[in-house]
Amino acid sequence: MHRELIKKKITPVIEKRLREMKESGDNYVSPIDILQRYTELLHKDYTIDIDVVTDNMIISIFASVYNTSNSLTFCLHELVNNPQFLKEILEEQKQLYKSNEKSYYSTEQIARMEKLDSFIKETLRVNVNNVALQHKTLSSYFTFSNGYQVPKGRLVNIRLGEVHFDKELQSQTADEFNAFRYLKKNSPATRADNSFLTFGLGKHTCPGRHFAVNEIKVALHYLLLNYDIKKSTSEKIKPKIYGSFKFPSDEGLIFEKKSV
């Protein structure tokens, strides 16, 4: 049912874009979204198999949900690993809840969760995959500042772990978890730059990062206000590492409902 709905919605959009691409040629201005990416990659002579595009869209939707839930789990683990930050983060949530007179929060109110935002960004910094963001050399070769050259067609990955733990980029405390590292620095969790590559960089920066971070904020806001969250053991919860990838631990957490 969901697959057919997605197919129904994207079909007229893709058909319209293919017509415009054919008519405009080199003057066509490509929309910057994932549907356009699939359209450009999968079409042949301006015809395309909509079923293939639909399947790719479903995979992308699954991946986005998977990544968001992983990030939320990392946040919960860092909360219990670093209880020294909990009091200030919780107080921020209480103040926002008290000041709200409606049954929902506006985006402006969610943006006021500054301490929680900094905590989320720090969680994403320290739990980044060690290697990711694969690129392909399209020119005849690419030359780095040190003179090293990468030939055309070579696949290159970025060592995100080294960037996120580099002391020149992150300060001398790069190896430590500091929930308020980004507080009052005009550096929200959604901002990608050369020192924070969780969401990529440039025009291919994750387009759903604002939605994902707000989802995580709202989920943590609810959980913090309604539950006391604890580790099931005294040991620090560490991520699982498979090759260059990091995944949340399978370690259980204890959620105790707060009294009204």
Per-domain boundaries in the chain: 82-257
pLDDT score of 65: 82
pLDDT in tens, 207-243: 889 999 999 999 999 999 999 999 999 999 999 999 9
Nearest to 249 by CA among 76, 48, 47, 118: 76
Read off the pLDDT of residues 96-131 as tens digits, 9 standing for 90 and up.
Answer: 999 998 888 999 999 999 999 999 999 999 999 999
3-class state of residue 44 by DSSP: strand
H-helix or E-strand spanning residue 116: helix 114-126
pTM: 0.80
CATH number of 82-257: 1.10.630.10
Amino acid 1: pLDDT: 92
Percentage of residues of the chain with pLDDT beyond 90: 84
Structure tokens that stand for 129 in this block: 């995959």
Cβ contacts of 94 within 8 Å, gap of 6 or more: 225
pLDDT at 260: 64
Q: Is the pLDDT of residue 56 over 90?
A: yes
Query: Would you say 75 is a known binding-site residue?
Result: no
Question: Residue 16: which H helix or E strand, with range?
Answer: helix 2-24
pLDDT at 146: 94
Residue 142 predicted with pLDDT over 90: no
